[in-house]
Amino acid sequence: MTTLTEDVIRYNLVARVLHWLIALFLIVNLGIGLVHDGLPKDWNVMTLHKSLGLSVLILSIIRIGWRFTFKMPPWPATMPQLQVVAAKLTHLGLYFLMLALPLTGWVFSSAGKYPIALWGIPWPKLPVTKDMPIAGITHEGHEVLGWVALALIVLHIAAAIYHHHVVKDDILKRMM
């Protein structure tokens, strides 16, 4: 097994920083989304949830642009084609969710009575009202997509751990 000081072909620094920031924000936000109803109302965690979600949206747009600009490291030659396809589909699903989750949250939050802010900076509301079908659809969709995101994140982490500890290839090290 190689160390990070050896010739591990890694994602560039910008891609790695974006990956870990988005991962942290998504995981914290999924946790908030799952437990916020049971928390004291004066904690106001939904303000944090919305700021993290909008940050995920902005960082994801930057990350997708960066991804199309800079080539990712090649998959290990020893990685079976089925695993490569599964990894590509999982990544595609995660990219979709990194956009769809904050967008659905933004849409249904726009229909609410509370302002939307990004770390205290006012964020524009979309022209959506509570009586519009899109408000209810995006609210339900946001919850369903949150569960899908949780499942894909668990799969993604499990695959990274599997590659690192069982296969002993450099898949995980590429993002370190």
- Which pLDDT does position 6 carry in this prediction? 53
Q: Give me the domains of the chain, ranges plus CATH numbers.
A: 13-175 (1.20.950)
DSSP 8-state class, residue 163? I
* The dihedral formed by the CA atoms of 168, 148, 67 and 61, expressed in degrees to the nearest 10: -150
Q: Is the dihedral of CA 80, 82, 86, 92 positive or negative?
A: positive
- Which pLDDT does position 38 carry in this prediction? 85
Tokens of 165: 């500890």
> Whole-angstrom Cα distance, residue 23 to residue 39?
23
**pLDDT per residue of the chain (176 residues) written in tens, 0 to 9:** 444 445 678 999 999 999 999 999 999 999 999 998 888 888 889 999 999 999 999 999 999 999 999 989 999 889 999 999 999 999 999 999 999 999 999 999 999 999 999 999 999 999 999 999 999 999 999 999 999 999 999 999 999 999 999 999 988 999 99
